[in-house]
Structure 1
């Protein structure tokens, strides 16, 4: 089921054109890996499409979306546009509404459709690492990425995940998303982390690069699988420690690749999305930046 977010609103329908354009919107957006990944996919799929990075802040989002003609197939959205886009799109998927953010907009037959591919990215990355079912999970951080992580662990059987934040106010977004997802969620401080880790099947860190480093020893000692969403400064100390200890480690680049691959699938309508080519393009770009 989709939620029609703009019921009763009449909009002029653009003249039908061949859709061949897409872009990532955000501010700042110059460090996004989406352009190299999408372009790699288009090349491998034999599509003469263009994909650009467009700087856009929240106040200008509605005007930008309204200005796009029928040559546009879709948009990728970064924060804070993921939430701001919700009321601007004709139809939004239930999952995107529950999570509280749209990271993908698809244009079709004069209407816009909002999706969330972040959850797909989490699940696909975990499945690739052979993590398929869980009894418990600990999520570090309470923002937008944590909301998608909640939806993902729900699909893996976790009924009451623990969310760990520095201050309870930082968990408001995750708490609201959990309610929409029909989950019970317990919020803890980092001072309580050690007790939460006993028996945890998975620890997902949605924290910025380096923010989880001081907790690495305790997390690794739990022997849980580790999912660190960082990709630009990977491996983090947490990921290195987990790897040395023999724990399953899932990285943010794998998450990002599957997010982007699902976007390409939605925008093109094709199933033959070259995930490997997209991942290799992103790895090459990260190496270029580092070098």
Structure 2
């Protein structure tokens, strides 16, 4: 007799640091679902063969770098955020093939709202990689009409700038050390953990609104300390991690990140408690 798929896991390389297992275990406990959620180290070269070898007992995968672009290539369908960013962090397995979602975008947009960044006019994004792309889309989802992207190599942000028409926002690209263009309502840092911009960080902090740094290890980061010196707010990436995981739960339970699960307030509270635990 066949049983409904009940196995899930987070894959990536490295993966030992991931807090996803505790987040998802808390959610499925509230929902009284007897599902297993583990972790596995998988590199990009091994991703295709690894997921194709999974048996029908598998429901889906949460994916971290460096697997997000490979998953976008393998998925038979992409939600809007995955299509815009070319990145998939949620892989829903089905008989027809895997469906790809990017809940990083919605998770970051919800984190901005939690921090009081609502209906912003302009947001500054630091970085030009995959996470920065998700940050730009999240800024648009939050209501920003202008997004300024700061990168060490502005030419690397050309693909991000090309998203402006699809998102209906004006995207400006500048070097990290270029004189500031204008004040913004908030800044999203999508730079590697521990990045120290020196005096540039102090200049940015002076006119850049609250900081949301996607990093959540090694806190406070050098950027966060610059914001604190300027008397501003600095938030780590835990809220983004929490909310993107909740949207993943929606996908794994109901197949749609836009549809809430039952008892969602209780689910979110349990996930938040699990996230903050040792």
What's the counterpart of residue 190 of structure 2? Answer: 206
Worse overlay, 46-55 or 239-248: 239-248
Question: TM-score under structure 1 normalisation?
Answer: 0.84
What 5-or-longer segments of structure 1 have no aligned partner? 1-14, 286-291
Deviation, 1:234, is 1.9
What's the counterpart of residue 60 of structure 2? Answer: 74
Pair 1:115-2:106 in alignment: no
What's the counterpart of residue 103 of structure 1? Answer: 89
Cα distance in 2 for residues equivalent to 1:195 and 1:111: 47
Please list every run of at least 4 consecutive aligned residues from structure 1 whose deviation after the TM superposition is greater than 6 angstroms.
none
What's the counterpart of residue 26 of structure 1? Answer: 12
**Which residue of 266, 282, 286 maps to 2:251?**
266
What 5-or-longer segments of structure 2 have no aligned partner? 255-260
Deviations for 1:188-243, whole angstroms, at most 9, x for unmatched residues?
11221x423x4211111111223155244223322612111110122224334535
What's the counterpart of residue 236 of structure 1? Answer: 221
In 2, are the aligned partners of 1:150 and 1:161 still within 8 Å (CA)? yes
Question: TM-score under structure 2 normalisation?
Answer: 0.87
In 1, are the aligned partners of 2:145 and 2:168 still within 8 Å (CA)? no
**Which residue of 268, 271, 277 maps to 1:275?**
268
Cα distance in 1 for residues equivalent to 2:81 and 2:68: 13
In 2, are the aligned partners of 1:205 and 1:212 still within 8 Å (CA)? no
Cα distance in 1 for residues equivalent to 2:41 and 2:162: 29
Count matched residues.
269
Q: How does 1:251-262 map to 2 (within 5 A)?
A: 251-262=236-247
RMSD of Structure 2 on Structure 1 (CA): 2.2
Cα distance in 2 for residues equivalent to 1:132 and 1:261: 20
Cα distance in 1 for residues equivalent to 2:126 and 2:196: 8
Deviations for 1:75-104, whole angstroms, at most 9, x for unmatched residues?
111122111112211211122111110110
SS class of match (1:227) = strand
What's the counterpart of residue 143 of structure 1? Answer: 129
SS class of match (2:99) = strand
Deviations for 1:4-60, whole angstroms, at most 9, x for unmatched residues?
xxxxxxxxxxx9531111011111111111112112222232222111111111222
SS class of match (1:185) = strand
In 2, are the aligned partners of 1:144 and 1:174 still within 8 Å (CA)? no
